[in-house]
Amino acid sequence: MSKVHYINSKPLSVDNVETILNSNYQLELSSEARQNIIKCRNYLDNKQNQNDLPMYGINTGFGSLCNVKISKEHLAQLQENLVLSHACGTGNQVKDEIVKLMIFLKIQSLSYGYSGVSLELVERLIFFYNNNIIPLVYEQGSLGASGDLAPLAHMSLPLLGKGKVKYKNQIRKSTKVLNELNIQALSLKSKEGLALLNGTQFMSAHGVWALIQAKYLMGYADFIGAISADAFDCNLSPFDDLVHKVRPHKGQLETAKQVRNYLKGSEIAVREKENVQDPYSFRCIPQVHGATKDAISYVFKTVKTEINAVTDNPNIFVEDDKVISGGNFHGQPLAIAMDVMAIALSELGNISERRTYQLVSGLRGLPDFLVDNPGLNSGFMIPQYTAASIVSQNKQLCTPASVDSIVSSNGQEDHVSMGANAATKLLKVVDNIETILAIELFNASQALFFRRPLKSSEHIENFLSLYQKKIPIVKNDKLMSEEIFKTKEFLSTNDAKSFLKL
């Protein structure tokens, strides 16, 4: 029997969303949400019947055409035209998981009863979500203000029997899928097209997806950093709690504690060291990783606020008898947060690559490039090159999108967030960090082999025993790319992730 998540006004967290996605919950409206939607739609219908005053996007044109009045008989056509004309996306297809997240977050936003949509529309979105009918959405086209117009238009097209969807792992015309399921295409009511397209669900879905990955990446950065520290025969003293209590940044304190716990019981860590100090890439793990964690905590807070918000326009306040045209669709909060996130995560990769470099440099009793017979074998020379290349790309991807703006809609929309660009490049940074950390683990596993018979902590040894069954110690040169891909795949497993918890 499927688990059910009831859409309601209780705030969602990123962890909630991750559970709903990973456990394949079905969505259903709570009675509270149903009443909110019906009440708001009835109010809007009555409002339209009682007077002919212009209400933006309800009985007027859009953008700079906001002063053009639309007659009642054309209101449904107005909404369909809006969706069709705004479906101008291009570029790569958005991941299925993120499109499904977009649908979920749009349902959540519409359920509060401030958007004026019909119950039928929200239930159709829920039907799409529950049956894995995934609209084809493209990465490019949103300016991140007036909402994510182009991508949300593509998300909405199949509701009208337009565009394409992925269904049962096949890309098909939405009309054929609807016919197969004996479902009629919707005819949009007034305001509904605007409610679908206005909103930040493209940006926020990317933000949620990136944060879910970031939780594990931050954990792996600490864990793999600890493995590398032992492999490089580092001192444990820089991780002493006394050091961090006198500079008590939360992330720094947490990271130092994690590294101490990971290395507890290590024979290598406790032996007397010849080196008084270690390079910063090891010694400053708590300070650098901790700063990333503190920055990401701000992003978590911002994204949580956004996914529990109403971000379409205009907003309908039934109790106050007001229809207000505002700017909640503007993506600046998300744009800045995702730029910060990209910068913060990139530093995990930056310092990771430096640890990899130290490990292959023939220092502290380790062989050049971590292989027997260096010269005949290049060993781990080129994986470090790859990591350095990716780190450099991340620096380019971390140029902020949120400081840019281009005037659109004949000057009506004269400041935009560019949050969608911040969102799409953030995903590339996230993937790059995973690769850089995989390369560090690949190197650290090899380096610890040369510390035998000394052992690291029981926790690390158990992890490496599992890892080396998939990616064994390299004796002679081999196709290293395959080992990196296998390492990334290993890190994505629940077995590997379980070692992040102590």
Residue with tokens 């990401």: 296
CA distance 265 to 457: 5
CA distance 330 to 37: 23
- Which residues pair with residue 167 across a beta bridge? 170
Q: Say if residues 444 and 460 touch (Cβ distance below 8 Å).
A: no
Identify the DSSP state of 493.
S
Side-chain half-sphere CA neighbours of 438 within 13 A = 24
Look at residues 427, 442, 273, 293 and name the one whose alpha carbon lies nearest to residue 355: 442
Active site residue 357: no
Q: Which of 6, 25, 43, 56 is catalytic?
A: 56
Give me 406's structure tokens: 């281009």
Q: What share of the chain is helix, strand, coil (3-state, %, to 5)?
A: 60, 10, 35
- CA distances 431 to 118, 214, 289, Å, are 39, 10, 18
CA distance 199 to 211: 20
User: How many residues would you count in the chain?
Assistant: 502
SS3 category, 435: helix
CA distance 260 to 272: 17
Residues belonging to the active site: 56
